Structure 1
Amino acid sequence: MTLTQAIEALKAGRFVMVHDDKGRENEIDLVVAAEHITPAHVATMRQDAGGLLCLAIANEITARLGLVYMHDMIAGMGKVNPVYSRLTEGRAAYGDKPSFSIYVNHRNTYTGITDSDRALTISEMAKICKNVNVEEFAKNFHAPGHVPILIAAKNLLAERNGHTELCVYLMKLAGMTPAVAICEMMDSQTHKALSIEKASAYAKRSGIPLVEASELKEAHQRARVA
């Protein structure tokens, strides 16, 4: 039922919350479809979530745009300076390599960081993702910018179970352009990630569907078996 409600919310341009496994990051992200994002969405994510606002995109789209992982770009710079190679050694505490690629701004933004600027960058990137055009991407965006692009794993949940993959898969379930704005929910009292208990209370208070990673993984598994 929650999954159905989440899909309906995304299609209507409303927020969804996604909780990954307790054994992984154990964080909740506030999520909205990139194609529906507004400055008001960005303001809410900034004020009520407070983490890093990112744009997660399906692998088949980023591949056509020629985007690569930031990890690989930095590692490649080890040929210039060995320090870069050392910076990319190992994995994060939760076990994965990060899904970050480049940071971009739309060329019609000013500083790129305001609610309006980031909403413009994300919504215009959604258009690029819907009708992939490398020339339009190069012409209308510049880097570095203020919106980090996250590249979803090629095989999504069969390969990686981060918020990037969970949220892109949710967009695919909704039959929408697989580009989604996500932001971790922080707790200014504990100075840590917002607990699932507090997140559940926020979701109930705000009328936002809260989806567990297990629901998405079960749906993904059913689709693979079918």
Structure 2
Amino acid sequence: MTLDSPLQLIEALRQGRPVVLIDGEEEGGDGMLVQAAEFIDDAALNFFAVEARGLVCLALTEERCVALGLRRMTDSPRGDSLGFMVSIEAAEGISTGISAADRARTVQVAVDPASGPGDLVSPGHIFPLRALPGGVMSRGGHAEAACDLARLAGLQPAALLAGILDEEGENARGDTLRAFALRHGLPIGGIAELIHHRILHEGTIARSAEYRIATRHGSFQVCAYHDAFKDVVHLALVRGEIDPAQPVLVRVQAVETVRDLLAGEPPRGAQQWNLERSLARIAAEGCGVLVLLAQQESAGAILDQLSRGTGPQAPTFPQRTLGVGAQILRDQGVRKMRLMSFPVPYKAVSGFELEVSEFVPFIAPQEA
């Protein structure tokens, strides 16, 4: 599928027009209808509801969610990765709240810089999505991309978005999305291309220092990266010479107390990679990169894992860590990855000029 460039999407949003945004790789990705929130009126809201037909959401930055006093949809310590907040309604100026005019009014109140927590009530008929700081450089999601595109268009970093459904009510993909865009005269672009655009013009991390460290698995080169958005330091432990043309053994993770310090195992299913096992595997092969992402574990997250008697049973937040980890891997010269992980979809990874050549699950050695 031939996609329009990020600049074409940015210009369309600047003019107040909707665009179609695809995640994943070309025809395999889901499509969302996106329009800058500043231009949303009752006609625009009705177009989203009638033509796209998916759940209508409002992408907001984390800063704006805090300013409005929005709460997460779930209190689960591991349930915030999608960024859903409790639904909202304008406190005044609406009737039932469900009409196109009422929902447009709610959107305008939510993005008005003068609005605060008292101007909205919950629950309502607009579903806010919290975009991570750093946008698509942190997570390659629709909410982050929508806010990034609006910001790059010189508008408030907020956008209305809705999933595009096909005639059977399933997520539209490939030719169906292209036909939708052509029918309505809309540009269609991908999150991977937006990531690449931002890499060329912006960055959210910078290599700040390098060291040698001796471990029980031998010596590693440690590169420190300062994260400008979170003001934290991430680390890359590197062994051997990285060849961009060859698949490289890679692990990207945040350090977790139960998994990495207590060596907790899942009660069911396969065992998993942890810090110790990852270092050992890279040392055994003589070449690879282990990226350790800074993460402040909440007390609830640790207690939740301990109550289940284990660390996480599957990759905890692949999309949340994708952007930062991918920037670090790209800086290290990695292009093809032998990813130490369960097989999971890593959407928009090509925007960082990376590809997954192979998933390498952990296989426990056979006991004698």
TM-score using structure 1 length: 0.80
Q: How many angstroms apart in 2 are the aligned matches of 1:104 and 1:69?
A: 12
Cα offset for 1:70? 2.1
More helix by share: 1
Matches of residues 37-116 of structure 1 in structure 2 within 5 Å? 37-71=40-74, 74-75=75-76, 97-107=81-91, 108-116=93-101
Q: 1:52 to 1:179 in 2, by over 3 A?
A: same
CA contact (8 A) 2:6 2:197 kept: no
Distance in 2 between residues matched to 1:41 and 1:118, nearest whole Å = 10
User: CA offsets per residue over residues 51-83 of structure 1, 9 Å max, x none?
Assistant: 100000112222333434323xx327xxxxxxx
Report the alpha carbon displacement of residue 225 of structure 1 after superposing the two structures with TM.
5.1
Alignment TM-score, normalising by the size of structure 2: 0.51
Q: Which residue pairs with 2:6 in the alignment?
A: 3
List runs of 5+ in structure 2 lacking aligned partners.
Answer: 205-368
CA distance in 1, matches of 2:128, 2:100: 17
Distance 1:2 1:205, change over 3 A: farther
Q: Could you tell me how far 1:224 is from its partner in structure 2?
A: 3.0
Identify the structure with the greater strand proportion: 2
The verdict on how the C-alpha distance between 1:159 and 1:225 changes in structure 2, with shifts beyond 3 A counting, is closer
The CA deviation string for residues 131-183 of structure 1, in whole angstroms up to 9 with x for no partner, is 2x5xx423321111110111101222222111001111111111110110000
Counterpart mapping for 1:9-20 below 5 A: 9-20=12-23
Q: Aligned pairs, how many? A: 199
Report the secondary structure of 1:168's partner residue: helix
Q: Which residue of 2 aligns with 1:140?
A: 119
Question: Deviation string for 1:165-220 (max 9, x for gaps)?
Answer: 1111111111110110000001123x310122111122122210111112101012
Q: Does 1:202 align with 2:203?
A: no
Among 121, 143, 151, the alignment partner of 1:172 is: 151
Distance 1:66 1:48 in 2: 31
Q: Which runs of 5+ in 1 are unaligned?
A: 77-87, 90-95
Secondary structure of the structure 2 residue equivalent to 1:216: helix
> Partner residue of 2:34?
31
Which fold has the larger relative contact order, with Cα–Cα distance below 8 Å and residues 6 or more apart in sequence? 1
Q: Percent identity among equivalent residues? A: 30
Letter in 2 for 1:63: V
